[in-house]
Amino acid sequence: MAQEEEDLADPFAIPNFWKSSTWLDPAILGANGNAKNPLFSLDLSQKAGHLIIGSSSYVHEIELPLSAGISNDVPPADGFFKLPPVLRELVAREADACPKAQTLKDVDVEDEEPLIIDEDLWLGAADIPTRRPELKTWDDLEKDDRVSSAVAFVTEAGPAAFDALLDEKQKEQSTAPVVINDATYAACLLTLSLGRSSLLFSWDPEKKSFVKTAPQLRTSGLSLQLMERIDQLCIECANATKRLKSFAEHTYSTSTTPTRVALAGAVDRLVQGIQSEVNNRGRAAGSILQLQSVVRPAHAVLVYSKQLVEKLAREKTDEGMLSCLFQEAQSAEYQSVMLQEVTREVLRLVSKPWTDFVEEWVGLKAEGGAPTTKTGPGKGFVKVADKVWVDDLGYELEEADYFLNEDKLPSFFPEETARTAFEAGRNLRFLREHHPDHALSNQQTMADLNPPSLEWKFDWDALSHLENKVKEYHNDLSRALDNARRGRALEATQSTPELSNNPVYKLEFFGQSDAQIATNVLASMNMLNQPLTSDQAQDGLSALLRDKLYPRAERALEGTHLDPHWSLAALMSFGSVIDAQSRLINRECMRMLFSAHDLRVHVDLLKQYYLLDNGLLCSRLSHALFDPELETAERKAGVALGGGTMGLRLSGRDNWPPASSELRLALMGVLSESYQPPKGCDQSVKPSIASRSFSSDLPGDLSFSVRDLSPEEIDQCMNPDSLEALDFLRLSYRAPAPLRPLITPAILVKYDRIFMSLLRILRMLYVVNQLFHDVPLSGRRDQEPSNASLRFCIEARHFVRQIAAYFFDTGIITQWRRFDAWLDSVEAESLSSNSDKQSLNEGNSYSPDVLRERHEQVLDEIMTTLLLRKRQTPILKLLEEIFTVILRFAKQLRAAGTRLDTEKAETPEKLYATFKKKVEVFLTVCRGLGEKTGSSSKSRQADGQRRPSENSIEQLLLLMDMSGFYARKQPGRE
């Protein structure tokens, strides 16, 4: 009892550890439930004095003497517990002396023959036999010749015990599973995992799945339930393989888009790579469980790929497919490392056609097939369509041009990078169209410099390497452009790789001697005798599957490093390459615009004529239009035209508007004779402009023309005393083809609106200056001019002159001076050498689009100052009403000088009161607009800086009413 309590208190005791498992085969057990041949079993139930020592092969019964003495019988010489040779003689002598002693003998247990041990374990030194020398190898050490002993656990009893247990449990079932050979079943499973039919598994077209031909099958040592799980794993793998192959074949046969074909190619490579790895490792598997461990990684990749392909197949466009694939690759970031790498590589392969087009568009790669031109339908995110312009004459101008189709852009591509790439490609086509001999127009130049390609980069090391390569390419191309500009041929153009890469083919048999033919045959046979080269695919996806589908132990920590965020992946992968290429292309385009196409000359021409910046033009035009002392250009019957200077004489005629012949006679030579070439045009930069004859032709074929007006506008032009009398007159300018992207019809429309407004100001200046000549004529000989007439003349001239000063000085000269200074810096930056920029980001990057936008911006600012914007229409109408009152007063003065018609004519007092009231209203509105603009600009600009046009109204108020004359209430007025 004490012994039992001591055993229970032992924390390391294992109860009943010596007992054999009850799950063992009953055939192995004895009749009494004990082991039949246990190792070193001790049976105390035998008769006293007998010790039974046995194993699974033999049993010896030793009869021990009951006394302490030694037995008189001689122990047998062939037993296991035999005595050493030294003691045998002693035992024999004592046996003779003690015949009654008990003997030691071998006995058989349960009718088994005793095992005869040939080797004597207790041999003496003299009795050791000489052994034959043996060859010792490592293969002999792997052989296990030991006799297995009885096991205590069923898991260690081998597949026979497990099969016996399953047979015992399945006796009650009607149909028992059939046990087949392991190797046969493993071969069928391997074939199934590769997506092929076999003896045990076949494809069912109705179920669209692989099915098992004989469900009740298993192998030794595995249960039916476990076999079903393994079968299901392999069937899912086979179904995914079948689905992916079917998708690839269907896409190849029906699809026409490059992105879908690239997806089919990636799927095909994925399936082939997985099949190759599974086949190689599956053949080396030693059991079905090892085959399961081989199939499981392939199953995870194939099932995920099948789901991914099903999502991508639902997308109708290539850009939608790329966007969906990018989102799936981003979602795979939270899955296994293998799925991350596979999805990224699939994204690289599927994006290749799209990135190839971007490379071709920006000039990083030679265009394959039909190039993208304005006569074609467009490609990718570049759309070719007719650009329709409607000028102020109402004519529609159609011209084919490139447009950025934002709907064709994938969601991952940044908008700013897309616009940069589009502008770079369009400017490159400009160089190819107008400068085919330029270095950038030669596609071989780009190829020889080995530009960086557009590829996805997902780690910092690859991005750092890309940045270094971009800088190297930028410097190499800059030096190449400078060398080409200086007249030195490029090294790439000097060599002729086409000739070196295409050697002349020589016949091997015809025309050769017998010895040469024999030598060629032997060389061919020697080549055929060479071993076959490895047929492994060299693409990234196959290499990825070969290296990482079954990772080694040292790669267990892969995927733990930090990569750039997916929102920056596209920008960092593509942005630097596109930006570097865009900088060089834009700089060369700007250089050609300034040097070869005389951009500054055309811009200066527009400023001189449309903005009336030419003083000689203003003087000549004013006299030709308004001076009544010039000879008339009107044709009259029976009256010959004079030979002097002719004009339209707007203020001294009744019939209006003039005929086209009158316009040609009056305005002949006004434009060409008043043209002033821009400063510096006689330098070597613009030799063509310096040698131009300015007496006959002008840049852009500048000339006067008649504006197309509506019927209401024509009625207004019929009255020579109206403010709109000269609205039919316009300037006609057509930009050269290379400058049309910069000087667009929309810009010319703005110029035309400004010219029409300034022409009215020019007329009003002439009218108010003429008032002092007409005032004395308005009174009678015995009367002086009234005070109202004199005050009207003075205030009207002050008002018009201040308006003109505000328009020309503040609205045009101030705004244009800033634009001209900016244009000088752009020209200096563009004409400088590319090699002077040691760094990629050194210097500003100007493009034709930037120049066009800045040009439009300065015109918008001028129109804002001249009150020509749509939101300023009410205040412009007030200004036009004031001008109309002044014209009515001038007409009244001219009429009074010829005849007295006071009944119909308005009195100066009434006109002056109307004029003053409208001026007060105009200044009040301007004052309120200035206060509103100032407060809104302060709240909008945090740094305190305001745009120049925002405080221009305040300058107008200072010019018009510095003393507050119109703000004070006059006596006698409410």
User: From CA 214, how far away is CA 789, in angstroms rounded?
Assistant: 120
Tell which phi-psi region holds residue 336, choosing left (phi > 0), alpha (psi between -120 and 50) or beta: beta
Nearest Cα to 301, choosing from 536, 539, 542, 537? 542
* Strand stretches in 438-581, DSSP E: none
Whole-angstrom distance between the N-terminal and C-terminal Cα of the chain?
131
Output the six-digit token pair for 838.
């040691």
Which pLDDT score, from 0 to 100, does residue 482 have?
Answer: 85
Does the pLDDT value for residue 77 go beyond 60? no
Nearest Cα to 244, choosing from 222, 213, 217, 266? 266
Which residue do the tokens 């006004």 mark?
670
Tell me, yes or no, if the pTM score tops 0.85. Answer: no
Does the pLDDT value for residue 639 go beyond 80? no
Does the pLDDT value for residue 351 go beyond 50? yes
Mean pLDDT, residues 191-211 taken together: 91
Q: CA 268, 271, 274, 277: dihedral to nearest 10 degrees?
A: -70
Query: Which region among 81-90, 133-142, 465-474 has the lowest average model confidence (pLDDT)?
Result: 81-90
The CA angle 950-955-959, to the nearest 5 degrees, is 155
Mean pLDDT, residues 516-529 taken together: 85
Which pLDDT score, from 0 to 100, does residue 274 have?
Answer: 93
Decide: 582 and 847 in contact? Cβ < 8 Å. yes
Does the pLDDT value for residue 742 go beyond 50? yes
Which pLDDT score, from 0 to 100, does residue 683 have?
Answer: 43
Mean pLDDT, residues 215-243 taken together: 89
- Is 351 or 41 the better-scoring residue by pLDDT? 351
Helix (H) or strand (E) run with residue 401 in it: strand 396-404
Burial of 489 (C-beta count, 10 Å sphere; 0-12/13-18/19+)? exposed
Q: What are phi and psi of 971, to 5 degrees?
A: -65, 140
10 Å Cβ neighbour count for 879? Answer: 22
Mean pLDDT, residues 114-127 taken together: 50
Burial of 661 (C-beta count, 10 Å sphere; 0-12/13-18/19+)? exposed
Tell which phi-psi region holds residue 701, choosing left (phi > 0), alpha (psi between -120 and 50) or beta: left
104 contacts: CB under 8 Å, gap ≥ 6: 62, 63, 64, 71, 73, 75, 76, 81
User: From CA 386, how far away is CA 389, in angstroms rounded?
Assistant: 10
Q: What is the mean pLDDT of the chain?
A: 78
93 contacts: CB under 8 Å, gap ≥ 6: none
Which pLDDT score, from 0 to 100, does residue 505 have?
Answer: 55
Does the pLDDT value for residue 476 go beyond 60? yes
Which residue do the tokens 């053949």 mark?
283
Query: Which region among 95-104, 433-442, 561-570 has the lowest average model confidence (pLDDT)?
Result: 95-104
Distance of CA 924 to the CA centre of its chain: 55
Which pLDDT score, from 0 to 100, does residue 858 have?
Answer: 94
- Is 57 or 479 the better-scoring residue by pLDDT? 479
Burial of 524 (C-beta count, 10 Å sphere; 0-12/13-18/19+)? exposed
User: From CA 274, how far away is CA 696, in angstroms rounded?
Assistant: 78
Which pLDDT score, from 0 to 100, does residue 531 have?
Answer: 77
Mean pLDDT, residues 287-307 taken together: 92
Q: What are phi and psi of 309, to 5 degrees?
A: -65, -35
**% the chain with pLDDT above 70:** 71
User: From CA 605, how far away is CA 734, in angstroms rounded?
Assistant: 12
Decide: 582 and 440 in contact? Cβ < 8 Å. no
For 129, 383, 441, the CA distances from 132, given in Å and listed in that order, are 10, 92, 88
Residue 15 banded pLDDT, cuts 50, 70, 90: low
Residue 657 banded pLDDT, cuts 50, 70, 90: confident
Which pLDDT score, from 0 to 100, does residue 908 have?
Answer: 84
- Is 340 or 841 the better-scoring residue by pLDDT? 340
Decide: 965 and 919 in contact? Cβ < 8 Å. no
pLDDT, one tens digit per residue, over 614-625 is: 989 999 898 888
For 680, 689, 695, 760, the CA distances from 692, given in Å and listed in that order, are 14, 5, 9, 32
Give the 3-state secondary structure of 359-375.
Answer: HHHHCCCCCCCCCCCCC
Which pLDDT score, from 0 to 100, does residue 362 have?
Answer: 92
Does the pLDDT value for residue 41 go beyond 90? no
Burial of 338 (C-beta count, 10 Å sphere; 0-12/13-18/19+)? buried
Does the pLDDT value for residue 352 go beyond 80? yes
User: From CA 772, how far away is CA 780, in angstroms rounded?
Assistant: 16
Bridge partners of 203, per DSSP, are 210
Residue 485 banded pLDDT, cuts 50, 70, 90: confident
Residue 80 banded pLDDT, cuts 50, 70, 90: low
Does the pLDDT value for residue 422 go beyond 90? yes
Output the six-digit token pair for 367.
């265009």
Q: At what angle do helices 337-362 and 566-595 cross, to 10 degrees?
A: 10
Q: What are phi and psi of 88, to 5 degrees?
A: -70, -40
Radius of gyration over every alpha carbon of the chain, rounded to an integer in angstroms = 53
Distance of CA 849 to the CA centre of its chain: 22
Residue 84 banded pLDDT, cuts 50, 70, 90: low
Does the pLDDT value for residue 801 go beyond 80? yes
Does the pLDDT value for residue 904 go beyond 60? no
Query: Which region among 311-320, 486-495, 920-929 has the lowest average model confidence (pLDDT)?
Result: 486-495
10 Å Cβ neighbour count for 761? Answer: 19
Mean pLDDT, residues 275-298 taken together: 90
Query: Which region among 403-412, 438-447, 598-607, 730-739 has the lowest average model confidence (pLDDT)?
Result: 438-447
Which pLDDT score, from 0 to 100, does residue 55 have?
Answer: 39
Which pLDDT score, from 0 to 100, does residue 65 have?
Answer: 43
Distance of CA 760 to the CA centre of its chain: 53
- Is 284 or 73 the better-scoring residue by pLDDT? 284
DSSP string, 283-335: HT-SSHHHHHHHHHHHHHHHHHHHHHHHHHHT--SHHHHHHHHHHHHHHGGGS
Does the pLDDT value for residue 782 go beyond 80? no
pLDDT, one tens digit per residue, over 570-616 is: 999 999 999 999 999 999 999 999 999 999 999 999 999 999 999 89
Residue 192 banded pLDDT, cuts 50, 70, 90: very high
Which pLDDT score, from 0 to 100, does residue 687 have?
Answer: 39
Mean pLDDT, residues 809-817 taken together: 92
